[in-house]
Structure formats: structure tokens, C-alpha cells
Amino acid sequence: MPKILLPALLICCGILNAQPWVQDSSVFNTSGVPSVSFSQPRFCDLDNDGDWDFWLGTTSRAPIYIQNGGSVNNPAYQPGPDLAAGISYLGAELAISVDMNADGIPDLVTGGYNGLHLYLNTGTTLEPVWQDQPGYFGALGLGNYPVPDLADVDADGDLDLVVGLSEDGGVRVYTNTGTATAGSFNAANMITIGDVGLYAYPIFADRDHDGDQDILCGRDGQGFIYYQNNGSSTSPDWQPYNDLFSGLGSGTYWNSPDLADLNGNGTLDLLYGTANGPLKIFFNVGTDTTPVWSENHSIFGGVVDVGGASNPVFYDWDSDGDLDMLSGSQLGDIKFYRNTGTAFAPAWQADHSFFSVIDHSIYSSVAAGDLDGDGLPDLVVGDLNGSLYFHRNTGQTLVEQTGVLPNVALGGWSVARLLDWDGDGLLDLFTGSEAGTMRYYRNTGTSTAPTWQEITGFFSGIDVGSNCVPSFGDNTLDGSPDCFVAGNLSGYLAAYRYRMGWTVDTEFVSGISTDQNATPALVDLDHDGDLDLVVGDYDGTFSFYRSQRYSADNLAPPNDLSYAIVRDVMLTWNVPTNPSSPLLHYKVFLDGELQGQTTELFWLLEALPVGSHSVSVTAQYIAGESLPATIEVLIVSNDDLVQMPLSLSNYPNPFNPSTTIRYEVPQNMPFSLDIYNLRGQKLCRLEHGNKAPGSYVSTWDGRDDQGHDLPSGTYILRLRCGERVLTRKLMMIK
């Protein structure tokens, strides 16, 4: 419906102001491993637990120690302690842990803008004290940005050096003419391996497991070159073999590799850094001689990074009830991240294959919606050229089609957004541009054949700056969009609300700091009823700002908390009254101590001592934790515990796919718990035998004794204890 100014709307629009935000980095980076520009990983085992940690080098700060909290065959990476404190990143953009003086403590060899450095560790492994050794590599004349690695290539008991040079792409090996405790490197003992073109990133590794050191070298724009040692451990002879790593690495620039066995299959896997930040890992699921590379997306906890110029849009592309994410990118392709979590707690899995047919100019943007009425979402794509392209979804592929969108020239950096602004059931079109202006094209056609009428003056007087990217939302929660947030080239965010026209809101996004090319998306990503904010940026990553409109002070606690004593204390409660945010679980506290959490409406407290106990239950929402519901539990005597009669209940009812059954047994006697149909035929025996007096829980998943799924309908739950029988009707809905 058209926008109409009502007194109620005037009151609701005030909600837009003073929006409380909290940044949650776990939404798009669940591991916490940072995505840094010009990433350079190097494996090590600094915590001496037998698995692979690594140093993460970058051009913007000192190297970061990334610790493996998993296992040798199933790594799980998190940032470890800050072990590079006090080291300037200008001389340490890349770090390698090696014991250069044979004292049993790893030292640090670094490469960076200020050349090659050795930092001796006079402390301990995890509490290092670094002492720079100026001039240790000074005689080599390696210039700026050398890339080092060390290993014993001639089997004489000391560490030798391989160096990649920056501008000329040369790869050199320097044999150590000193000792294991006092190394010596000079140009007279140098072997030139080759020239890889521009910027060489070499590492030593015994890739073919023949006892000598091979060399894998990354290079700008050409992936990797592999030099296999066809000599021996004492007399190396490196020869190039390029086919083993064919197709891997970035085709642009910056490929910084390392090799280690990360899945325990005996072959070396490949980890490499990229210019735009995200680490890439490929498992070798083949053999040493015939490697088969399989990219793994889970080791780093699902870090979401499109490589540059992220531009997020949220849409339930796979129609499973939760929001997936699409994004444009710096290279012009479209990235897709399927939500494999839930509507309340999203998790992301990259799946770009369906969108690989899209290839336009760089700095792409994307909008999703069904513009042809066939029930499938289509795409509108913008790019740096200032054009808009329509891609129809056939179900099998995306086909570019002309004549669907208005013929507009937006200048550079075209961005489209699709939404039903006027409430007529048709998707309207909004655009942003390089010039900072926005346009509104009302859909005056049909659901299968859109036609467009530009509403001139709709954004009159609004200019949010160059490379404008708007996102619209329903902040008043009345079912109609009423606000937008726009980002620009400098990283500025501007918010506007609608009152028979647009009014700037200076408070809505205050306190949010963004990076260059801020591209916002207003979306209720956590399904708690208010608008959250996702921001893409030039680096290619995404930042999530959770709205804190709801506070714990107004989140309803559990209802009707009570207890009964049957040997132990059985707590029960009901769902909160009018919950204002999606409910995750309940927390149970005994005398101020957390006992655990549950999604059920009961909890058993076992073997409480005689006396008075304070018991509390809180409701944990996505928006926060409620105030507690509290009762006092009095245990008078362990000899005078009250026995409850035989009882039977279940929750939920109706149910799908399972229901939880609660029952009390008053005395020790034979019992059974069975499921019958309405004809009296027994379908499933859940439990039977003897039970001590007390409260118990069972679950029925809607299957018979043979494991077959039963159809929707009414069933009979029967509890028999001795000669006593209780029954209850269950309704299963599928």
C-alpha cells in the first residue's frame, strides 16, 4: 500500500533513533582467525603438542600466532597468545620458527620491508624474549621484502636458507658454512634455483618423502612452481615440475604457500595466503606422485571473505526457511554462501558454482528476487561500468536476458536493490551509483512482466557520497519498509527514515566504524524481530552488528516455576509469557551456581542435602538473558521424601518430529512404556523392565520397532506399572 502518514507511524518512527549495536565477529568468522591482507602462513608446533600451528604474516602488523586447538588430523584454529610483541612488522611481515642456535628454544627468522632478520629467543617458547641480531644475514644483500625458509638441505646438521626475492623473482639457496650453534651465510655458497617472474615465495619441504628437501615456490599471477630434488640429501639437484600443483593458487598475484599433513593421510596438504586475505587450504587426497587436490572450507571455522569489495544481500535462495547470503566482489563474479545453520543462528558454507556463469566488469553488486513470476529467484547484477544486467533463473542455470530492466545509465559503480516499497505485491527497483545519487523505479507491470516508472524526486536532496550503496528495512515492524542505510567509498554510513519523505537520522548508526567502500545490508539475521546490520567493505570481509533493541530487563522469564520431590527434586516450568525475542534455551541455577542448560521444561536436581536451597531458571534469548524465576526448595529430611503417584505427560503435543515423555514411577516393580495405534496394535516399545522409584524421561521419534517412519495421526502412549496403567493421546503432524 502507498505510504500514508499516521499518528501511530510518527510515534513508531522514533524507534529508529539511538539504536544500540554490539559487534559480533563470530557470525562471519566463527574461528576468530583473522582475514588479513597479503597473508603469509608458515607452519610450526610452538606449543609442543604434536600438531601443526602456524604463523600468519601480513603487511599491516607483526605476525600472528595461530594455535591448533584440535588434533594433528583434525585441526581447529584459533588465535593464540601474542608471541610477536615488540617486533616491528616492517621487518617481520613473515615469520618462521626455527632453532638457530641449537639451544632447544625456537627462534624467529623474519622477512619484510626492512630485509631479513634473526631474533634469538632468550626466554621460553610461549613466553619469548626476542633479541634482534643485526647483520646476521647482512652480507647477502637481499634488499627489501625477502621471503625466507630454513631446513638442513645438505644433511650436515645445521640449517640452510632458501630466499625468494621480490622484484626480480629469483630463488636462491644459501648453504650454512658455520655450525648448528653459530650459522654463517655468504654469497660464495649460493645456488640460484631459478627466476619465477615476480615475487618469489619459496619453502622447503620433503614433498615426495624421499629424505631430501624439495622446494615449492609461489609467484605472482602464475600459481606455483615446484622444484623437485632429484639429487640426494648431501648433493641436491633441483628440477622444475609444474604439473603437480596445476590449477592452484591465485591468478592475480600473491601466492604464499606452506605444506603439511593436516588430515593424517600421509601426504602433504597445501595452505597458502592471498593478497586480499583469506587463507586457502587444499587437501591432497591422492598420492605423492599423483596428487588430487580438494579444497577444504571448514578448517578456519567458516571465514567468509569474497576476496575484495564485498557487497552483501540476504535472500532465502534455497527456500529452507533461513536467509542465505549473496555478494558481489572485486573481480566481478557473484559469491553465494548457503546458510547451513538455522534462522536464529546462521552458519555459512560457500557454494559459488551455480553463479559461476555470471561474468561482468569488476566491482559487481547483486540483488535477488522473482521478477518473472515463476517462483524462482532471479538476479539483478551491477558493475563498475554503471550497467544493470538481468539474469533469469531457469532452475538449472542463470541466463542473461535483455528488455526486463529499465534502460538507465547510472554512471560507474551501479548497485540495485529489489523490494516491494508501495505494498502492491510487486518488486520495485532502487539504484545507487558512483555519483552518490539514488533512484526509485516503481514496478507498474505484473508479477510475470515488470514495467518501470521512475519516481523522480523521491530522493531529492539526498547525496550520501560516491559509490553509494543503499539498503532498506522495516524498522517500525509494521510490515512495510520505512528506512534505509547507505554506505559510500570513504566508509561513511548515513541513515534516513521515511515521514512522507526522507529525514536524516544522525543517531541510528552512530558508533559504528566501517572501512572503505562500506556496503550495508539491513536484515533481521538472528530472527529476533529487529533489524541487524551487516557491512561489507573493500577488504572483502563482512562485519555483523547485532541490534540490542531488546534488553534483558524486558525479556520474559520462565513461567510457573515449581518443584516436586521424588527421591530427587524435579523442577518444572512453562514457556515465558509473550517472549519478545526467539528463545534458545533455559539455564538452571542452584544456590547461585549454574547447573546446566536445557531446551526442555524440566530439570532434575539429584541428592540435595537437607536444608533450604535457592533455585533459579532463566530464559536465554537471542537478544539476551532474562531475569530469573526463583523459588526456595526445602529439604526437611532424607527419610521423609514425598513419593508422587504414577504420572505420565509429554511435550510438545502435537509434535514433529519427536516428543519428550516424562513419567514418575512410585515403587520398584515391572513396568513398560509403549506406543499403540487407535486399533490397539502395539507399534513401538520404548522402555520396559524394572525402575527404581523416581522421575524419568524418554523420547519418541515417530517410528515403529522396525525403524519405519509412521504417518501423521493420533497414537496412544501407554505406561504400565504393575497392575496400574496410564494412557495419553499423542498427535503427530508432518
pLDDT digits over 109-153, tens only? Answer: 999 888 999 999 999 999 999 999 988 998 898 888 899 999 999
* Phi, psi (deg, nearest 5) at residue 657: -95, -5
How confident is the model at residue 412, as a pLDDT?
84
Contact between residue 352 and residue 326 where contact means Cβ atoms under 8 Å apart: no
The angle subtended at Cα 310 by Cα 35 and Cα 54, nearest 5°, is 10
How confident is the model at residue 17, as a pLDDT?
43
Give Cβ neighbours of residue 690 (< 8 Å, ≥ 6 apart). 668, 669, 670, 671
The residues of the chain scoring below 70 in pLDDT are: 1-19, 250-252, 276-277, 297, 301-303, 477, 549-554, 563-567, 579-581, 623, 637-645, 679, 723
How confident is the model at residue 638, as a pLDDT?
57
Q: Quick one: the chain helix, strand, coil %, rounded to 5?
A: 5, 40, 55
Q: In the numeric block, which cell numbers belong to residue 573?
A: 516450568
Distance CA 339, CA 341 (A): 5
How confident is the model at residue 52, as a pLDDT?
93
Distance CA 426, CA 63 (A): 52
How confident is the model at residue 144, as a pLDDT?
87
Q: pTM above 0.85?
A: no
Q: Indicate the helix (H) or strand (E) that contains 8.
A: helix 7-13
Q: In the numeric block, which cell numbers belong to residue 436?
A: 552518490
Q: How far is CA 111 from the centre of its chain?
A: 31
HSE value, Cβ hemisphere, 13 Å, CA-based, for 640: 5
How confident is the model at residue 584, as a pLDDT?
82
Distance CA 570, CA 579 (A): 24
Q: Indicate if the alpha-carbon torsion angle 679, 683, 684, 685 is positive or negative.
A: positive
How confident is the model at residue 10, as a pLDDT?
25
Distance CA 323, CA 319 (A): 9
Q: Indicate the helix (H) or strand (E) that contains 648.
A: strand 647-651
How confident is the model at residue 164, as a pLDDT?
93
Distance CA 483, CA 444 (A): 22
Q: In the numeric block, which cell numbers belong to residue 146?
A: 625477502
Neighbours of 312 (CB within 10 A): 27
Give strand pairing partners of 728. 717
How confident is the model at residue 580, as a pLDDT?
63
- Helix or strand or coil: residue 139? helix
